[in-house]
Structure 1
Amino acid sequence: MSGVISGFTVIFIVVAVGFVLGRTKALGPSATQVLSRLVFFVCTPALLFHSLLTTDLSVVFSSTLVVAAVSALTTGAVYALLARLLLHRDVPEAMIGALSSSFVNSVNLGLPIAIFVLHDASFLAPLLLFQILIYTPIALVTLDVTALTGSPSRSSVRNAVTAPLTNPIMLGGVAGLAFSFLHWHPPAAVSEPMKMLGDASVPLALLAFGLSLTGVKVLRKGESPRRDVALATVLKMVGMPLLAYAIARWGFGMSGHALFAQVVIAALPTAQNVFVYATRYRRGEVLARDCALVTTLVSIPVIAVTAALLT
């Protein structure tokens, strides 16, 4: 339990710093946009490149990868379907909501939880691989084609093919995975700058999130899409952990600590990266921001109950 508290404390402190910077206007009126673009175009690609470059891929390709992939894709698909049919949302907003309901905070909260609660950070490696090389490209291609061209009906085969090739996050992840497969490590003069830039990704994303909270009220009537936030939160904090439990226990026969780890990973809150993507494409920003905050708060009791029931 102390590990859970430590992990959340890290997030709250950095977000609070961003909020104070926003309140004092110390970084100027465009700080949120600038930081978000810096995270999207520079820091996150560097983080993904260095993370995959230094990860033992034999640990990555495991049953945990299947649990993470199936639970996330299924949860996101359910949200997208309900958002389109019941809430009548456009494709970009539905995509941001789908990410909000299933894209896990695997770094800035996931790592502390893995270390202090699960006592093994390797549980996150398959999740990182899935989110980097499968889920993120699917989401960003969808957003590139629909949000940037105005309508999914105007999409083309050329756009679908070229979008991943020009996306910096996709390029960073593919490069790191390729070098890891080849067992080739660049010289320190190259890898160290990548590590330095990657290390800045999480705190900058959290600072941008804190800045975005300045002068706004979460779940504010008339501004926040409350039904969307409620749907995404329920799916993220209840549906996805239950689905991960079912897949891990009855699909792979997991029990004990391994089963506990799968559920905790699924119960992590929405990643701040979703807000960065929403800001980049200027679609669903309030939805992503409110989901990140609400699920972060809700995940505290959810993970606590999970620990009480499965340990």
Structure 2
Amino acid sequence: MPELKWSPEQLIRCLAFVNGKGGVGKTSLVANLAGLYAGGGYKVLIVDLDPQGNVGNDLGYIGAGRSDDGKALVSAISTGHAIIPLTNVRPNLDVACGGEQLDELSDALEAGHGGGVTALAAALAQVAESYDLVLIDCPPGNKPLQRLGLAAARWLVIPTKSDDGSRLGLAKVARLFTEIREEVNPWIELLGVVLFGVGSTATRVQNSVRADLGQDLDNPGIVFISTIRHAEAAAYDARKRGQLMHELERDVATAPKWHERFKTGRKAETLAASAGTVAGDYQRLAEELIDRIVAAETVDLNDRVDVLEGQEVQA
């Protein structure tokens, strides 16, 4: 393997989405946020570290026969070469595909092989300058692959539901985050926690969960204000069609109305009307997430200026 040379500054806008429990919205968040950012003009790369490869279902490229089941991603991590992603999954959106081959990488990493914990960071650093944002979808319950993602990330985002099982998964990630920060990646920071799949009217429950999570993580403001509400029909339709929520919203809005179908005798697919509501949730979260990054980067820049000015005074 070639010598792995990279700098944390190359991955300054790399975000890992992690929870120790499945079914809390990681993949949906990564795919939908990436699609919104790409649609807004950012150049975005998704890294699907999950052996299930569900990003490909959300974006529709598995059904189109375009996934390599993680072959290129595993090769890059194992050899130290640059990642070669699947390009133009959407305009401005590329994907390093996940899939079953990541199971073998996980086993190799567990045995102390496979390139080491910083191998993904090294592979990403070689292509990161081509992207404004890199979003990593980390698998639940797979510590070797989670460590890879956290070692490469500048920011950690933890999706969670309000149940005890999801919060237990969050606690596991918090411990792993601390471990990686102390041993491998001191630059990673927790950007925030996203409440996913919440009831739109469960305000009391949301407030209680926010308070509990803030106390658990010793940061009252760590939970994003924006939440992604539960809408099973919309989620089903989106994944079945390989669409993101704002794409499904567009199709719902342009679909023939019932009376138009009655007049013409045309049959049309019935789509979840809740798509627009959930699409709005993702849009608000996308804006809030970028606002947090920009605010944090501004603080970092000001701190660097203060240090430099202090050095000049001393000189």
TM-score (norm 1): 0.29
Where is the strand percentage greater, Structure 1 or Structure 2? 2
Where is the helix percentage greater, Structure 1 or Structure 2? 1
Higher RCO (C-alpha 8 Å, min separation 6): 1
Decide which structure has the larger Cα Rg and report it: 2
TM-score (norm 2): 0.28
